[in-house]
Amino acid sequence: MTALGNDHITHIQAIAQKSRSAMNTVLDGKDHAVRTALITLFAGGHLLLEDVPGVGKTLLAKALGRVVGGSVRRIQFTPDLLPSDVVGVSIFNQETRAFEFRAGPVFANVVIADEINRASPKTQSAMLECMAENQASVDGTTYRMPQPFMVVATQNPVDMEGTYTLPEAQRDRFTARISIGYPSTQAEMDMLDHHVDHDPLSRTPAVTTLDEVTQARDLIRHVSASPELRAYVVSLLDATRADPAVSLGASPRAGVQLLRTAKVMAVLAGRGYATPDDIQALAVDVLAHRIVPREGDDPQLAASLVRDILRRVPVR
Amino acid sequence: MTATAHAPAPQQPAPPHSHESGGAETVAPWVAAIATAVAMTLAAVSVSAVFADWAWFTPTVVMILLVVVSGALLRAVPAIRATGSAVLGQCLVGVVGALYLCVPSAMPFGLPTPVAFGELFSLLGQGVDDIYSTIAPAPSTPGFTAILVVGIGLITILIDGLVSDLRAPKMGGILLLLIWVIPVIVAGPQLQWFHFAAIGLAFVVLMLSRYLAQRVRRAAAFSVLAGALALLLGVGLPLVLPPVDQRPQQPLGTPEDITVVNPFLDLHADLDPSNDDVVLTYSSDDPLAPPLRLTSVSAFDGTTWMPEPFDIDPFAVAVDGMPRPEGVAADTPVVERTAEIAVQGLDEQHLPSPYSPATVDGVERRWIYDPSTLTIVGNGVLSTDAQYTIGYRSIEPTPAQLAQAQPVDAEQFESTLALPNDVPEVIGQTAEEVTAGSENQWEAAVALQDWLRSDEFEYSLDAPADASGSALEDFLRDRRGYCVQFSGAMTAMARSLGIPARIGVGFTAGTPTGDGEYEVRMNQAHAWPELYFEGAGWVRFEPTPGGPAGDPPPWTTEGSAGEDEAQETEAPEEESSPQPTPGAEESAPQETQAPEAAEDGEPTGAGVPLWLAVAGGVVLLLLLLAVPALLRLLTRRSRLSGDDAARTEGVWEEIAASTIDAGLPWDRSRTLRDQHERIAADLEPDDVRLLDQATEAAEALRYGDGIPEGTALSGHEAARLVQRVRATQSKEIGPWSRVRAVVLPRSLTQRPQAPRT
């Protein structure tokens, strides 16, 4: 059944390790964010970065595009941005006398959706359709996204001025949410030393290829997830729904995403099967943004609720 | 029954308590005894689910009858009955009876000696070992039998006392149900309807004993019937019940033939190239890389080669050391070497070892050896997952020495020279032709080997699967075959020339994996001739050409023959000197136990029923107190036995359970890895390695595609790991908790810790 041999695992491990160290040179001391970003990439998901401005959200996304050698496009979301600005438009060509599609910036391997929560809901949903369907429809014609396709959306905390809250249903489409956080003192000093005069990205090489990433994604699907493990995932999801402190529990899609990322994690650990350790390592990043605490939609609170659930649900 | 005006005596069952006791007493004291005997026999029947045979049953029933009959006789004396001291006499009879039944050989003059007590105790100890090393249904070893004889005898005394003296059959019933607990826990799946029926009937009989005692006054026939029933049950039931895999019991000290599986017969199937499971790995620094022998077959009836039947000597315990092989002269070069062997996929009754084994470490005392072949044979144990260190004597005679060996005395080596009459003559003729011109037996043997290794022969697995006379005839004609025919032909030809010969069966030295490590696969099974030369003993030859067996040993090649003529003086008396009798010295360690019997030390208090009540109560209390510990022990055993998968999960259940026993928290929301990290912090590096193995196997089992071959912990390792974890945990807790962990283990009632909030 499985086409996943040991040599495959080692190969994917090597790719991921190279990418990780390349990105770590750019984002000093942000290994957790780097790791989650790479796992999301290999799991075929999308990433939501939620943090205050200026901690390196865009840098992370750019570095990710860079190491896989893919095209990187950036969309700065503003309240007046229209869906056609994202997806593209069909223009009537006078010479050929036919409509011609001008692809928008969303057609790239890594799309940085900067400050996605500042766009109008209409534009947000156009973006989210691309993410969910891996395709865009313009004037009745469907255009496929390039593969691999990954959206790294950044979002400023919702209480900042001029922002629309990303609705729960749309947050659910992101595989993982992370915040980068302020760098450590040492890292910040190094940053002031290096990044002031150099573009840190200029020295980041492409350590792998798009084909390799696509191939790895296919192989990772063959990582086995035993019935015990799936039962554990389901009991975690159930616990979020039954928790009295949670007003909206995790969706079934959350379980799918959690298992997908766990499979990547397993391969990165050199295993051909996922274990509850993988699930526990990713549960906060993958589940926290999908649940709504009763006492207000606070990322910190949601994360700590997920941690409580992890400590409560027996492992199978 | 005291006369009460209105009571229609015959119909009325006895009221449950007191005041009529005087009446019953005078009526039929032996009814209670018969009831006890019947009940206990039935209880013993219910225990049979634990065992695969019935050898234990007769001594147990004899014990029950001894105790009950002596009790009934003693109670017939009014003075003894009044004081309730019949129990003392019963204990005495019981002790002597147990000695006779379990260690008859240690009672030279029919009297209990300290030696006999020592042996009984060591037998009981072995029984406890057997509990740990077997799974129901188990063969009833002498150890098990001893435990049952002593244990059931003790309970019979108690129940008899309770029923006959104290008139408290209900208490007796509780004791009876304690017996029932054993088969329920140990052999649940083996329980049949008649086991339930037996214990149920036993209970009913015991409960009815008092009622019967009153009724039977007028119905003597009934008591005869009950007695006959007891006898019938004791003698007839084992015959009536489904015959379960009868195994002859080997009473201590009486030699009997042991049925030995003949590995020679399976060689052809083993050699199939697809049969490449690793059966064992070992490390050795022996440059000769000798084959690993299971046994040697020498009895040839013209069709099959079989191991010579040998007298089993339970004292020839392999771990106590094995004698120097027969016929090896003092000046023959002998190199002491060791090999560390780990069996993985071999369930043999023989322990693989290079020839000739001298010491073995790491196996049970039930591995005994055959002094004539120096084969290590399991007395009811198999080589499954054995890990042991073999010290062996590598006998490396020089060609010169072998060349001078004189022909042996044909009578003395009758069995290894025998060729049945129907063996084709062509074998003898060919042998004569091939060895024409040889000046001595060694040259003849070398000529045979050279001829078989020459280009005229082809190694082929297509040959028939045996080495019968006709198969060997075909082989000599077609000149195609494999080790079975090569070794069979050389052995038969050597015998025709007057050289004692037999076939060694086992495995080639296997494939080196570096660092002196070897890996042996099933299809590396092998057979080779062993020829006897005076002064050198049994010497290995290697006539099978074509690779798998490797080069012939140095002493079988002509090249080095004339180099050294110095060793003129042979020591032929070595060869004729009898084997050291290992039984004599090995029996000593068995007798070191303190010569005291527990049943013997009853205090001589005032012999009133009150005294008996107290003593019985105390024993009952102790038994009841021991129940949780016993249950816990049995749970542990069932967790650590079973197949790889069951054991892999069992280890973790057991670790969790012992954590809970110690009163420490066991958090079920932690992953295996988490638990692993926490436990590993307190363990020694060696044990951490076991823990690593346990964790990896459990992860692979639960979440992966199953445990990779050979990575699961063996039962022995699993037990060791659990014991170490337990030891580290008991350091963390106070003395009271430590006692509680054993006597009242929390894990019996408490599941691994409930979710915390």
- pLDDT tens for each residue of B684-717: 888 898 899 899 898 888 888 888 887 888 878 8
Q: Is the pLDDT of residue B595 over 50?
A: no
Residues whose CB falls within 8 Å of the CB of residue B670, separated by 6 or more in sequence, listed in order: A315, B678
Indicate the residue type of B472. Answer: L
Q: Which two tokens stand for residue B399?
A: 């060609």
pLDDT of B261:
53
What is the tens place of the pLDDT at every residue in B146-201? 888 888 888 888 888 877 777 777 777 777 777 777 777 667 667 777 888 888 88
Q: Which two tokens stand for residue B625?
A: 């107190």
Measured between alpha carbons, how far is residue A66 from residues A72, A104, B582 in Å? 7, 20, 79
pLDDT of A53:
75
- The rounded percent of chain A whose pLDDT value lies above 90 is 18
pLDDT of B133:
59
| Among the partner residues A226, A273, A277, nearest to B671 by beta-carbon distance | A277
DSSP 8-state assignment for residue A116: G
What is the tens place of the pLDDT at every residue in B81-101? 777 778 888 888 888 888 888
Q: A273–B668: do the CB atoms touch at under 8 Å?
A: no
Indicate the residue type of A38. Answer: L
Rounded CA separation A63/A72 (Å):
9
For residue B757, what is the nearest residue in chain A, using CA coordinates? A312
Higher pLDDT, B143 or A1: B143
**B705 CA to chain A: closest CA distance, Å?**
8
pLDDT of A230:
92
- Residues in a beta bridge with B529: B503
Measured between alpha carbons, how far is residue A67 from residues A29, B37, B684 in Å? 18, 86, 44
Which single residue is written with the structure tokens 């094995």? B322
Least trusted range by pLDDT, from A148-162, B287-301, B502-516: A148-162
pLDDT of B613:
63
A vs B, Cβ pairs < 8 A, gives: 56
| 3-state SS class at A151 | strand
Among candidate residues B64, B33, B87, the one with its CA nearest the CA of residue B614? B87
Q: Is the pLDDT of residue B59 over 50?
A: yes
What mean pLDDT do residues B528-543 have? 88
Q: Is the pLDDT of residue B325 over 80?
A: yes
Higher pLDDT, B466 or B156: B156
Q: How many CB atoms lie within 10 A of CB B97?
A: 22
| Among the partner residues A280, A310, A312, nearest to B757 by beta-carbon distance | A312
Q: How many CB atoms lie within 10 A of CB B699?
A: 22
pLDDT of A235:
92
Side by side, which strands form the sheet with B292-297? B292-297, B501-507, B525-533, B537-540
Residues of A in CB contact (< 8 Å) with B are 2, 224-226, 228-229, 271-277, 280, 310-316
What is the tens place of the pLDDT at every residue in A233-288? 999 999 999 988 888 888 898 999 999 999 999 998 888 899 999 999 999 999 99
Q: Is B672 on the interface with A (CB under 8 A)?
A: yes
pLDDT of B215:
55
Phi-psi region of B2 (alpha: psi -120 to 50; beta: other; left: phi over 0): beta
Q: Are the C-beta atoms of A42 and A213 separated by less than 8 Å?
A: yes
What value, to the nearest 5°, has the Cα angle with vertex B598 and ends B136 and B602? 135
What is the tens place of the pLDDT at every residue in A118-129? 888 888 888 888
pLDDT of B131:
66
Residues whose CB falls within 8 Å of the CB of residue B218, separated by 6 or more in sequence, listed in order: B10
Q: Which two tokens stand for residue B318?
A: 């392999």
Rounded CA separation A22/A63 (Å):
8
Rounded CA separation B650/A265 (Å):
28
Higher pLDDT, A208 or B127: A208
What is the tens place of the pLDDT at every residue in B651-670? 888 888 888 888 888 888 88
pLDDT band at B559 (very low <50, low <70, confident <90, very high): low
Indicate the residue type of B280. Answer: L
pLDDT of B609:
55
Residues whose CB falls within 8 Å of the CB of residue B676, separated by 6 or more in sequence, listed in order: B691, B692, B695
Measured between alpha carbons, how far is residue A242 from residues A279, A283, A294, B88 in Å? 19, 17, 12, 67
Higher pLDDT, B273 or B613: B273
DSSP 8-state assignment for residue A201: G
Radius of gyration for chain B, computed over Cα atoms and rounded to the nearest angstrom? 32
DSSP 8-state assignment for residue B407: P
State how beta strands B278-284 and B334-343 pair: antiparallel
| 3-state SS class at B501 | strand
Q: Is the pLDDT of residue B370 over 90?
A: no
For residue A229, what is the nearest residue in chain B, using CA coordinates? B703
Rounded CA separation B563/B57 (Å):
66
pLDDT band at B248 (very low <50, low <70, confident <90, very high): very low
What is the tens place of the pLDDT at every residue in A77-127? 888 888 888 888 888 888 888 888 888 888 888 898 888 888 888 888 888
Measured between alpha carbons, how far is residue A174 from residues A116, A149, A253, B6 in Å? 12, 13, 10, 92
Q: Which two tokens stand for residue B539?
A: 């010497």
* A314 contact residues in B (CB cutoff 8 A): 668-669, 752, 755
Rounded CA separation A16/A9 (Å):
11
Q: Is the pLDDT of residue B510 over 50?
A: yes
Measured on CA atoms in the order B571, B573, B575, B580, is the torsion positive or negative?
negative
**A228 CA to chain B: closest CA distance, Å?**
7
| 3-state SS class at B444 | helix
pLDDT band at B14 (very low <50, low <70, confident <90, very high): very low
* B670 contact residues in A (CB cutoff 8 A): 315
Least trusted range by pLDDT, from A191-195, A224-228, B155-159, B293-297: A191-195
Side by side, which strands form the sheet with B387-395? B357-361, B387-395, B334-343, B278-284, B517-521, B511-514
For residue A236, what is the nearest residue in chain B, using CA coordinates? B669
Q: A314–B704: do the CB atoms touch at under 8 Å?
A: no
For residue A224, what is the nearest residue in chain B, using CA coordinates? B704
Q: Are the C-beta atoms of A112 and A74 separated by less than 8 Å?
A: yes
* A310 contact residues in B (CB cutoff 8 A): 669
Q: Is the pLDDT of residue B441 over 60?
A: yes
pTM, two decimals, is 0.48
Mean pLDDT over the full length of chain B: 75
Burial state string for A68-98 with b = 16 or more CB within 10 A and e = fewer than 16: bbbebbbbebeeebebebbbbbeeeeeeeee
